Amino acid sequence: MRILVIETSCDDTAAAVVADGTEVRATVVSSQDAIHAAYGGVVPELACRSHVENMRPVLDAALAQAEVALHDIDAIAVTQGPGLVGALLVGVSLAKALAYGLGIPLVTVHHLEGHISAIYLEHATVPCPFVALVVSGGHSDLYYCSQRGHYTVVGRTRDDAAGECFDKVAKMLHLGYPGGPIIDRLAQAGNPKAIHFPRAMLTKNTFDFSFSGVKTAMRTHLLQMPNPQGERLFVDDAFWPLPPASWWEQQRNDILASFQQAVADALVAKTLRAVTETGARAIVVVGGVACNSTLRHDMYHAADALGLPVFFPSPQFCTDNAAMIACAGAYRYYTNPQYYRQQDFLDLDAHANLPLSNVDNSSTVQST
Ligand code: KG4
Ligand code: ZN
Nearest to 316 by CA among 83, 122, 134: 122
Nearest to 16 by CA among 234, 329, 252: 329
- Give distance in angstroms: CA of 321 to centre of ligand 2: 8
pLDDT along the chain (368 residues), means of 10: 96 96 95 89 93 97 98 97 97 98 97 97 95 96 95 95 96 93 98 95 87 96 91 85 89 98 97 96 98 98 96 97 96 94 92 76 39
DSSP, res 209? B
**Interaxial angle between packed helices 162-172 and 212-224, expressed in degrees from 0 to 180 and rounded to the nearest 10:** 10
The single-letter code of the amino acid at 324 is M
- Give distance in angstroms: CA of 289 to centre of ligand 1: 4
Are 320 and 7 in contact by the 8 Å Cβ rule? The answer is: yes
pLDDT given at position 236:
80
Q: Describe the strand order of the beta sheet including 150-156 as a list of residue ranges.
A: 150-156, 140-147, 130-135, 282-286, 310-311
Q: Which residues line ligand 1 (CB under 6 A)?
A: 10, 136-138, 163-164, 166-167, 178-181, 184, 287-289, 291-292, 319-320
DSSP, res 134? E
CA 115 to ligand 1: nearest atom:
1
Q: What is the DSSP string of 17-84?
A: EEETTTEEEEEEEEE-HHHHGGGTS--HHHHHHHHHHHHHHHHHHHHHHHT--GGG--EEEEEEESS-
pLDDT given at position 368:
35
pLDDT given at position 366:
38
pTM score of the predicted model: 0.94
- Give distance in angstroms: CA of 287 to centre of ligand 1: 7
Residues 172 and 168: their CA atoms lie apart, in Å, by 6
The single-letter code of the amino acid at 114 is G
pLDDT given at position 357:
65
Phi, psi of 234 (to 5 degrees): -115, 135
pLDDT given at position 201:
79
